[in-house]
Amino acid sequence: MVLSCPIDYRYGREAMKAIFSEEGKLERLLAVEAALARAHAAVGNVPAEAAKEIGRRANLKHVTPARVHEIEAEIRHDLMAVVRALTEQCKGTAGKYVHLGATSYDVIDTANALMFRDGLVLIEKGLEDLVAALAKLARDHRDTPALGRTHGQAALPTTFGYKMAVFMLETHRHLDRLREMRERVTVGKMAGAVGTMAGFGDKAFAIQDAVAKDLGVGMEDGPTQIVQRDRYNEMLAWMANVATSLEKFATEIRNLQRNEIGEAAEGFDVKKQVGSSTMAQKKNPVTSEKICGLARIVRANLTPAYENAIQWHERDLANSSAERFILPHSFVLLDVIVQDSVDVFTKLHVDRARLAANLAAHPGIMAESVMLRLVEKGLGRQDAHEVVRKASMTGKPFGEALAAEPEVAKRLSDKDLAAALDPGAYVGMAPTLVDRALAKVGHAGAKAQRGARKAKR
């Protein structure tokens, strides 16, 4: 077999790929057919023993992808090939009850719901692990002063822990969104060719409800031939949103790892890892770069998803081929970048000395602090701003230029000026914001952690 898609040989965890593999999809299609047979039996449409026989045969041991391929090659219908492959495996008369009253997308979209449910569980666990990794960094660096930047320029002091707390809160919101949307997106249907349930007769709702309960998924409230794709769009938009956040986090690490900044870096195996084929000294942020690249694919999949939602009348087939790509690829690739993000932030090296050196190299970031200290001493805010602005533009060392300003010399002692220029004393409420963020996401705050360590001693 020639493998042409990188997901086949390069990207993706086996657990996620198994869900969306050919076998994983077939297994879930068969599970839906078995649940439908049991539902019919429950309302008296199908003999109980026939439903049991269908259930016994509706698995990969009896219905193989190879046999489905053989049938599809003859009849050119993918779901009907599954139905026939299952039917021919059933003993006695059970086979004649397979797929009773259903249309193809009753089975396909309900199987999709099963795949979505299982795939979202894996992504949810990954995001929980990412929150934990970011929470640890936030705790550990709650009070570590860091240079805050805006427009790519030195701005004001912050703490490295607060930077991580911001990422943690964003990830936590994605978990909230996932849990809130789960019931809307893990939805199948048992409603027939145009959504009227005509093929299920007067027991249609009982059959639909039984299938839903059996499989543990919801059912479309207003079906046509398919589950309405606004549901898929919500899920894929959420996935694009998560991917965007992870690309943002990774971009920050890529920037902080630049030689001229050097404040944080991905873990690097110095014994074996190779950074470049020719530049032997390189330690490139390759995992963060991979996150950024794959995130763009996840976002790009949202465009065909939106177009798929525009159907002719009760349904056309234009969505089918596109969904064969965008659904498994979005799940597999998002899972990859979530796991890679966990790896980056679990192994992140934070250089405290470089953080301090970069702060010291930019004394001008204390302009606001000095301005507000002058206001406290009676100078008007606008006048104080102008005094500090002029001092910062002289080209002289900032502290020296400030001391030479008459308004500064008149109002601030050397001790006052030195205090106003201390970046470690001007991180505002950043440590408290870290504590509040940790409490919000359910991770112990820095004070509680310190108390626990003291108690152990």
For 196-248, the DSSP string reads S-GGGGGGHHHHHHHHHHHHT-EE-SS-SSS--THHHHHHHHHHHHHHHHHHH
What pLDDT, in 10s, does the model give residues 16-72?
999 999 999 999 999 999 999 999 999 999 999 999 999 999 999 999 999 999 999
In degrees and rounded to multiples of 5, residue 158 shows phi and psi of -140, -160
Choosing from 69, 276, 321, 349, which is the catalytic residue?
276
Residue 341 a catalytic site member = no
Asked which of 90-104, 416-430, 443-457 is least confident by mean pLDDT, the reply is: 443-457
Q: What is the pLDDT of residue 34?
A: 98
149 SS3 class: strand
User: Cα–Cα distances in Å, from 244 out to 171, 204, 247, 371?
Assistant: 11, 42, 5, 37
Interval 388-399 mean pLDDT: 94
Prediction pTM value:
0.94
Residues of the chain above pLDDT 70, percent? 96
Annotated catalytic residue, options 151, 277, 313, 413: 151
Q: Please give the domain boundaries of the chain with CATH numbers for all domains.
A: 14-97 (1.10.275.10), 104-266+281-351 (1.20.200.10), 362-452 (1.10.40.30)
Residues 351 and 123: their CA atoms lie apart, in Å, by: 30
Does 62 participate in catalysis according to the annotation?
no
Tokens standing for residue 6: 């990188």
- pLDDT for position 270: 65
The residues, ordered by sequence, that sit 6+ positions from 447 with a Cβ below 8 Å of its Cβ are: 435
- 1 vs 198, higher pLDDT: 198
The band of 428, judged by pLDDT with boundaries at 50, 70 and 90, is very high
